[in-house]
Homo-oligomer: A and B are copies of this chain.
C-alpha cells in the first residue's frame, strides 16, 4: 500500500500513480486532516476507496448498530494536497473511471436514519425501524446488481451504475466536517452525477484544496430513501486541474451532456433554492443573459434531480442539459473538455470503458 508510480507503455507521457490507503489512513472529516500526499494537476490517480461501512458489513447478520462505531463510518481516501491550489481558486476533479472493486455490495436500513424513519433530529418518540442488511451480487456481464428480498424469494436486477456518494475539499472558516455531511465544500452529496466522465468543480478554501473521496455506490434510487445505496468498494481513476482565480461558491458539475450545481441544506426546498439560484447566476454570467432571462431559461430547461433526503443536509442537483444551451460555450474555462481528453488517453492506454448501465 501507499503511493506507487505506474508506467503506461501506451501513454508514456502520462504520469500515473496508484494509491490504496492503509487501514489507518482513511479520513473521517473534510478539513482538519493532514494530506496523504501531494498531487500535480495533469497526473492520473488510480485510487481505491472502501465502502461506507469500511468493508465490515458482509452478510445479512452484520448490522450497522453492532458492526460500526460512530464516527468511523464513510471512510475517505485522501485528502490530497493539490499543487498550486489556493483559496479563491476552483479545483476540477475529473472522474475517468469508477469501477466496482468487488463482486458484491451491501445495503442496510440503519437505526434512526433514512427518509422514511424518524431520526436523531427529526426526533419522535416512536420505536425505530429494525436494522437489516441486504447483500447484492454484482452481475458484471449483465451490468446489473441482484437484489434478493429477505422475507420472500423475490429477486430483481437493478442497473450497475457506479458513482461516488462523497467527494469534497476542506471547508472554509477553519471548519472540519464529518464525512456524512454535504455542504458548500462538497462532501456526502450522494448524487449519481458524480460518475465516470463527470467533472466536479469545488471552490478551494485552504492551500492545496485537500480533496478526498469515497462512499462508492453500485446503484441507488433517487433520494437514497432508506439511507444506504448499494454500497461497495471502488477502483477509481481521476485527474485534477486548478482553475486559478475563479471561485466556486457551491459544487458545480459538468458532463458531456449537462451543467449542474449541487445545493445541500435543510429543509429540502432550500437545497433546491441554493442549487437553482446558483445555476441561474452561472448561466446568466456565462451566456451574458439578464438574471430574469436566465431564470426563465432554467425554469423551463432544468432536468434537476433529488440526490439525498437522508444526510445531515439534503442535496438537490440543479441541472440543465447542454442541448438547451449554446454549444460553443466553454464552461469553467473549458476544464471539462481538457480533462475528458486526458481521461480518454488514459482509457485507451489501459483498454477500458467505464461501465454505466442505462436506466
Is B126 within 8 A of A118, CB to CB? yes
**A194 interface residue, CB < 8 Å from B?**
no
Residue of B nearest to A128 (CB): B126
Further pairs besides A32-B174, A154-B293: 16, Cβ < 8 Å: A107-B300, A109-B295, A115-B273, A116-B276, A121-B270, A126-B129, A147-B300, A156-B324, A222-B302, A222-B304, A223-B276, A225-B276, A225-B302, A268-B272, A272-B306, A306-B316
**A234 interface residue, CB < 8 Å from B?**
no
Complex CA–CA separation, A288 to B151 (angstroms): 10
Is B150 within 8 A of A109, CB to CB? no
0/1 interface trace, chain A 93-127, chain B, CB 8 Å (1 if under)? 00000000000000101000001111011111111
**A226 interface residue, CB < 8 Å from B?**
yes
**A75 interface residue, CB < 8 Å from B?**
no
Is B154 within 8 A of A289, CB to CB? yes
Minimum CB–CB distance from A280 to chain B (whole Å) comes to 7
Is B116 within 8 A of A297, CB to CB? no
**A8 interface residue, CB < 8 Å from B?**
no
Could you list 24 examples of A-B contacts with CB < 8 Å?
Answer: A32-B32, A109-B295, A116-B123, A122-B122, A122-B273, A125-B277, A125-B280, A125-B295, A134-B296, A147-B297, A151-B293, A152-B289, A152-B290, A154-B326, A156-B301, A175-B178, A177-B177, A223-B302, A224-B299, A225-B280, A226-B299, A229-B299, A266-B266, A266-B267
Is A109 within 8 A of B296, CB to CB? yes
Is B128 within 8 A of A299, CB to CB? no
Is A268 within 8 A of B265, CB to CB? no
Minimum CB–CB distance from A126 to chain B (whole Å) comes to 5
0/1 interface trace, chain A 43-86, chain B, CB 8 Å (1 if under)? 00000000000000000000000000011000000000000000
0/1 interface trace, chain A 271-291, chain B, CB 8 Å (1 if under)? 011101110100000011111
Is A123 within 8 A of B156, CB to CB? no
**A172 interface residue, CB < 8 Å from B?**
yes
Point out residues on A near B: beta carbons under 8 Å.
28-29, 31-32, 70-71, 107, 109, 115-118, 120-130, 132, 134, 147, 149-152, 154, 156-158, 172-178, 219-230, 263, 265-270, 272-274, 276-278, 280, 287-293, 295-306, 309, 314, 316, 319-321, 323-326, 359
Known A-B contacts A265-B266, A272-B306; A277 and B223 likewise in contact (beta carbons under 8 Å): no
Is B29 within 8 A of A174, CB to CB? yes
Chain B residues near A292: list those with CB within 8 A.
Answer: 109, 125, 129-130, 132, 150-151
